[in-house]
Amino acid sequence: MIKQLIAVAAVAAAAVPAQAVTVVQWNFNSVSADNNVGTGSTLASTGAGTASLLGTTATFATGSPNDLAADDSAWNLTSFPSATVGNKTEGAQFAVSTVGFADVVVTFDLRHSGTSSRYEQFQYTLDGVNYVDFALFSNTVTDSWNTRSVDLSAIAGADNNANFAFRVVSAFAPGTSAYQATGTGSYATTGTWRFDGVTVTAVTAVPEPGTYAMLLAGLASLGFIARRRRGA
């Protein structure tokens, strides 16, 4: 019987599935629905995290069609840097602890106005201070929602990290020292980026192989004790 229990435990350990869950999400809707897209909240709608501005200002406006709430709001950023300054310094920042989680993926919906920066630089930090460039996105379609997905599963330091955070900031056009407009006109500091559905998903951390080894060792010890008792 003990041997059967050990075998079952070993099979169960090998069969534990990795469960992807939402760690945190910001939908920017009002905490209490008011059917007004011009109001909203930067509090996390699911989980716990902090959303903050980097040099920009923001209001609330109509959100992404992916949000089915009655008062679907989005975070509408403006007051970006002048055309040739502040490369990769201004936009929005999101901080969330990934303790207990692994294989982090960040998704968000973003809408560009025609005079906003075409290029979006995604950055992450593992220490809460120093940010690393990771993915550079571009958009040439104005006033249309785009869904971005950033897979950080290959960044081991993003797992189980209380200091994890990420940014989406305006970036100079590659190979230049100036912002390029999303549309066919000129870039302007009054251009807007509109965020919605900012979501961090991850896989729930499962016990390390050593944990399973300890479990099996414990069961084996129980088997040894049981045999001694039967032989007494």
**Can you give the CATH number for the domain in which 93 is found?**
2.60.120.260
Give pTM, 2 decimals.
Answer: 0.83
What's the mean pLDDT in 203-218?
55
Same domain, yes or no: 162 and 216: no
**Do 180 and 222 fall within a single domain?**
no
Q: Which domain holds residue 227?
A: 1-16+208-232
DSSP readout, 140-176?
Answer: --TT-EEEEEEE-TT-GGGTT-TT-EEEEEEEPPTTS
Co-location of 136 and 213 in the same domain: no
Same domain, 107 and 198: yes
- Render the burial of 42-73: b for 16+ CB within 10 Å, e for the rest: bebbeeebebeebebebebbbbbeebeeebbb
Are residues 229 and 172 part of one domain?
A: no
Q: Do 7 and 45 share a domain, yes or no?
A: no
* Whether 4 and 86 share a structural domain: no
The predicted model gives 87-95 an average pLDDT of 98
Q: What is the pLDDT of residues 150-192, one digit of tens each?
A: 999 999 999 999 999 999 999 999 999 999 999 999 999 999 9
172 with 224, same domain: the answer is no
CA dihedral 42, 43, 49, 50 (to 10 degrees): 40
Confidence of residue 59 (pLDDT cuts 50, 70, 90): very high
pLDDT for the residue numbered 70: 84
Same domain for 119 and 33: yes
